[in-house]
Amino acid sequence: ALIYRAGVLGRRPAVPTDAAELERRATAAMAPRARAYVGGGAGGGATVRANRAAFDRRELVPRMATGRTSRDLSTTLLGHRLPTPLLLAPIGAAGVVARGSDLAVARAAAGCGVPYIVSNQGCSPMEEVAAALDGAPWWFQLYWSTDELLVDSLLHRAEAAGAAAVVVTLDTTMLGWRPQDLNLGSLPFSQGIGIAQYTSDPRFQEIVRERVAAKAASGRGEDVKVTLGAVRSLLSISREHPGSLRENLRSAAPRAAVETFLDIYSNPGLSWDALASLSRRTTLPILLKGILHPDDARRAAELGVSGIVVSNHGGRQVDGAIASLDALGPIREAVGPGMPLVLDSGVRTGSDVVKALACGADAVAVGRPYVYGLALAGQDGVRDVIENVVAELDLTLGLCGIGAVDEVGPHVLRAD
Ligand code: FNR
In short, whether 122's Cβ falls inside 6 Å of ligand 1 is: no
- How much is the pLDDT for 356? 99
**More reliable by pLDDT, 368 or 232:** 368
**Residue nearest atom 13 in ligand 1 by C-alpha distance:** 91
In short, whether 348's Cβ falls inside 6 Å of ligand 1 is: no
Does this model's pTM top 0.90?
Answer: yes
Q: How far is the CA of 145 from the centre of ligand 1 (A)?
A: 18
In short, whether 194's Cβ falls inside 6 Å of ligand 1 is: no
- How much is the pLDDT for 243? 47
Q: Is the pLDDT of residue 93 over 80?
A: yes
- How much is the pLDDT for 191? 79
Percentage of residues in the chain having pLDDT higher than 70 = 89
Mean pLDDT of 32-42: 96
Catalytic residue, chosen from 241, 293, 313, 411, is 313
Ligand 1 atom closest to Cα of residue 366: 29
Q: Do residues 122 and 129 make contact, with C-beta atoms less than 8 angstroms apart?
A: yes
Q: Give the 3-state secondary structure percentages of the chain, helix then strand then coil, rounded to 5.
A: 55, 10, 35
Tell me if residue 142 falls in helix, strand or coil.
Answer: strand
Q: What is the DSSP string of 265-310?
A: S--TT--HHHHHTHHHH-SS-EEEEEE-SHHHHHHHHHHT-SEEEE
- How much is the pLDDT for 212? 83
In short, whether 366's Cβ falls inside 6 Å of ligand 1 is: yes
Q: What is the DSSP string of 170-217?
A: -S-SS----HHHHHHT--GGGGTTT-HHHHT-HHHHHHHHHHHHHHHH
CA distance 346 to 334: 23
In short, whether 13's Cβ falls inside 6 Å of ligand 1 is: no
Q: How far is the CA of 16 from the centre of ligand 1 (A)?
A: 21
In short, whether 344's Cβ falls inside 6 Å of ligand 1 is: yes
Could you count the other beta carbons within 10 Å of the beta carbon of residue 156?
15
Q: Phi/psi at 403 (nearest 5 deg)?
A: -85, -15
- How much is the pLDDT for 251? 38
CA distance 27 to 21: 10
- Which among 387, 384, 367, 382 has a CA at the least distance from the CA of 106? 382
- How much is the pLDDT for 236? 53
Q: How far is the CA of 313 from the centre of ligand 1 (A)?
A: 5
229 class by beta-carbon count within 10 Å (0-12 exposed, 13-18 middle, 19+ buried): middle
Contacts of 110 (CB under 8 A, 6+ apart): 116, 132, 133, 134, 135, 136
Domains of the chain: 2-59+72-147+160-174+267-276+283-406 (3.20.20.70), 194-264 (no CATH)
In short, whether 90's Cβ falls inside 6 Å of ligand 1 is: yes
Contacts of 409 (CB under 8 A, 6+ apart): 357, 358
In short, whether 312's Cβ falls inside 6 Å of ligand 1 is: no
Q: Is the pLDDT of residue 250 over 50?
A: no
- How much is the pLDDT for 229? 55
> By mean pLDDT, which of 22-26, 143-147, 190-194 is the weakest?
190-194
Ligand 1 atom closest to Cα of residue 39: 17
Q: Is the pLDDT of residue 189 over 90?
A: no
Contacts of 63 (CB under 8 A, 6+ apart): 400, 401, 402
> By mean pLDDT, which of 89-98, 258-267, 360-369 is the weakest?
258-267
**Residue nearest atom 12 in ligand 1 by C-alpha distance:** 91
Q: How far is the CA of 209 from the centre of ligand 1 (A)?
A: 31
Mean pLDDT of 345-359: 98
Ligand 1 atom closest to Cα of residue 290: 23
- How much is the pLDDT for 232? 57
CA distance 415 to 156: 47
Q: Is the pLDDT of residue 33 over 60?
A: yes
**Residue nearest atom 1 in ligand 1 by C-alpha distance:** 91
Mean pLDDT of 99-104: 97
Q: How far is the CA of 229 from the centre of ligand 1 (A)?
A: 33
Which DSSP symbol is given to 345? S
Q: How far is the CA of 215 from the centre of ligand 1 (A)?
A: 35
- How much is the pLDDT for 234? 59
337 class by beta-carbon count within 10 Å (0-12 exposed, 13-18 middle, 19+ buried): exposed
Ligand 1 atom closest to Cα of residue 314: 27
Mutate to test the pocket of ligand 1, among 102, 312, 313 (most ligand atoms within 8 A of CB): 313
- Which among 132, 140, 120, 130 has a CA at the least distance from the CA of 204? 120
pLDDT band with cut points at 50, 70 and 90 for residue 215:
confident
Residue 34 CA to chain centroid, in angstroms? Answer: 16
Which DSSP symbol is given to 318? -
pLDDT band with cut points at 50, 70 and 90 for residue 403:
very high
> By mean pLDDT, which of 33-42, 259-268, 340-349 is the weakest?
259-268
- How much is the pLDDT for 249? 46
Ligand 1 atom closest to Cα of residue 345: 27
Average pLDDT, the chain: 91
- How much is the pLDDT for 68? 93
Cα 345–Cα 347–Cα 349 angle in degrees, nearest 5: 170
Q: How far is the CA of 334 from the centre of ligand 1 (A)?
A: 25
**Residue nearest atom 9 in ligand 1 by C-alpha distance:** 92
Could you count the other beta carbons within 10 Å of the beta carbon of residue 13?
20
Mean pLDDT of 12-31: 95
- How much is the pLDDT for 1? 52
- How much is the pLDDT for 9? 65
Mean pLDDT of 371-396: 97
Is-catalytic flag, 313?
Answer: yes
Could you count the other beta carbons within 10 Å of the beta carbon of residue 61?
11
CA distance 386 to 87: 9
**Residue nearest atom 14 in ligand 1 by C-alpha distance:** 91
pLDDT band with cut points at 50, 70 and 90 for residue 252:
very low
Cα 81–Cα 82–Cα 84 angle in degrees, nearest 5: 145
